[in-house]
Amino acid sequence: MAVDTRVRPQKARSAARAGSSSVALKIFMATTGILLVLFLYVHMAGNLKIFFGATPFDHYAHWLRTIGEPLLPQQWYLWIQRTVLTVAVIGHIAAATILARRARRARPVRYAHRPKVQGSYAARTMRWGGVIILLFVVYHILDLTTGTLNPVGSPGHPYANVVADFAPHRWYVTLFYALAVVAVGAHLRHGIFSAARTLGQRGARGEHVARVTALVLSIVLVAGFLSVPFAVITGLVN
């Protein structure tokens, strides 16, 4: 039977192009992910200042708005951080969507019954975890940055806002925060592991190191974030 071989080189070329652009997208995802993790670690460490009392905590928030004054304009640092974070989040989601579509298209036949393999489970968890985190961030900004949804919502007094937020009778807010922070931890655990693999940690030993590092970094972050609502609800911070 005669086979038309003319289309093959073109198909091979476009497959190679898609392959190398997928690698570029994975590197982009890893880089934006690392940037977001760095922000989360700095944010978590800043939150721990609440254990030093209202004045140091509120002063820290004030300092974030006045770094470099009067030479530099008010809030310049926060606005640069907000811009970089927004671009990183949008880029991270866009790259994840393109890669997921490519993976679906590359699958020759749709599974009749999706097998519960680790890969698809992790991918689904990452997708839904990502959506929960995004919804949480929108609520969180309206709660503790603009104060719109906060019972106190006092500008310049984040200590009072946080204490009011996690008051025992508002246990449902604390629960929502706790679930979101655990979702961040789970997302991070898989994300750090994938990023380490993309950036070259392969082989049994490399994968083991990446897995343990991802687990430790996620647990430390989750524990640090959760310590604040836990301290308020138990009366340690009031």
Tokens 């989601």 sit on residue: 93
Residue nearer to ligand HEM on the CB measure, 63 or 121? 63
Alpha helical stretches, state H, 48-75: 54-66
**C-beta of residue 160 within 8 angstroms of C-beta of residue 54:** yes
Which among 188, 196, 141 is positioned nearest to 37, based on CA atoms? 188
Tell the smallest beta-carbon distance from residue 216 to ligand HEM (Å). Answer: 18
Q: Which of 8, 43, 101, 208 touches ligand HEM by CB under 6 A?
A: 43
On whether the CB atoms of residues 184 and 222 are closer than 8 A, the answer is: yes
For residue 125, state whether it binds ligand HEM (rule: CB under 6 A): no
Question: Tokens 């880089």, residue?
Answer: 31
By CB under 6 A, is residue 158 in contact with ligand HEM?
yes
Residue listed under structure tokens 């990446």: 210
Backbone phi and psi for residue 125, each to the nearest 5 degrees, phi listed first = -60, -40
Place of tokens 């919804």: 135
| 49 contributes a contact to ligand HEM by CB under 6 A | no
- Strand, helix or coil at 183? helix
Query: Is residue 28 within the footprint of ligand HEM (CB under 6 A)?
Result: no
Tokens (6 digits) for 58:
């509120």
Q: Which of 16, 67, 72, 78 binds ligand HEM (CB under 6 A)?
A: 78
With contact defined as beta carbons under 8 Å apart, do 193 and 33 qualify? no
Q: Which of 191, 229, 231, 237 binds ligand HEM (CB under 6 A)?
A: 229
Nearer to ligand HEM, 18 or 42 (CB): 42
For the bound state, the minimum distance from the C-beta of residue 235 to ligand HEM, rounded and expressed in Å, comes to: 16
Q: What is the DSSP letter of 51?
A: G
Least Å distance, CB 211 to ligand HEM, is 22
Q: Which is nearer to ligand HEM, 99 or 130 (CB)?
A: 130
Residue 202 within binding range of ligand HEM, rule CB under 6 A: no
Binding site for ligand HEM (CB under 6 A): 40, 43, 47, 61, 64, 78, 81-82, 133, 137, 140-141, 144-145, 158, 162, 177, 181, 184, 225, 228-229
